C-alpha cells in the first residue's frame, strides 16, 4: 500500500486561503493529506472561510491557524505557497522538499461571495496542480 503524500499549504495569515486549500486536499485528493500554516499566522480561522467549509461539508474541528514553527520539522512531499508574501518568505525546510507557488487573491475583509470565488478557484487550479506534482 502506498503511503499518502503530505502537502503543506503555506500563506501569510493561515486564516482563509490555506485553510480552504488544506480542507479541499483532505476531502478530495485521494492519496494526499494536507496541513496548512502561516508565515505570520493570524491565530484564527476567518469566520467566512469556516462557514463556507461547513456548508461544503468539509470542515474539521482540527483546522486552525498555526505558525510555521509548528510544522517545519514535518516531512512533506510538497509545499505550496498561496500568496506572494509567503512565497517570498518561505522558510527553508530542513528536509529537501519541492516548493511551488500558486497565488490566490486574499478574500479576507471581503464579502462572502469572494470566499466562494476563492474556493472555486482553489478547486479548479490548485487541486489539479497538486495532483500532478505528487503523481497521484
Residue 130, CA atoms < 13 Å, CB-side half-sphere: 31
- Residue 78, H or E segment: strand 78-81
Instruction: List the beta strands (DSSP E) in 89-136.
Output: 98-101
Longest dimension (CA), the chain: 44
Q: Provide the percentage of residues in the chain whose pLDDT is more than 90.
A: 66
Q: What are the catalytic residues?
A: 11, 83, 90
Least confident of 15-24, 77-86, 124-133: 77-86
Which pLDDT tens digit goes with each residue over 35-94? 999 888 888 999 999 999 999 999 999 999 998 888 888 889 999 988 877 667 766 666
pLDDT at 1: 47
Q: Which burial class, exposed, middle or buried, applies to 118 when counting CB atoms under 10 A from its CB (0-12, 13-18, 19+)?
A: buried
Nearest to 40 by CA among 107, 96, 86: 86
Length in residues, the chain: 136
Please name the CATH architecture into which domain 5-131 falls. Answer: 3-Layer(aba) Sandwich (3.40)
Amino acid at each position: 500500500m502506498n503511503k499518502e503524500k503530505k502537502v503543506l499549504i503555506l500563506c501569510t495569515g493561515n486564516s482563509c486561503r490555506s485553510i480552504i486549500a488544506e480542507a479541499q486536499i483532505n476531502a478530495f485528493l485521494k492519496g494526499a493529506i494536507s496541513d496548512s500554516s502561516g508565515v505570520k499566522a493570524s491565530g484564527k480561522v476567518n469566520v467566512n472561510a469556516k462557514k463556507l467549509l461547513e456548508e461544503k461539508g468539509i470542515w474539521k474541528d482540527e483546522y486552525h491557524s498555526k505558525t510555521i514553527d509548528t510544522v517545519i520539522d514535518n516531512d512533506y512531499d510538497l509545499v505550496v505557497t498561496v500568496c506572494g508574501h509567503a512565497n517570498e518568505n518561505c522558510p527553508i525546510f530542513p528536509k529537501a522538499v519541492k516548493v511551488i507557488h500558486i497565488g490566490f487573491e486574499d478574500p479576507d475583509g471581503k464579502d462572502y461571495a469572494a470566499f466562494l470565488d476563492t474556493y472555486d478557484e482553489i478547486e479548479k487550479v490548485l487541486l489539479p496542480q497538486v495532483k500532478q506534482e505528487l503523481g497521484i
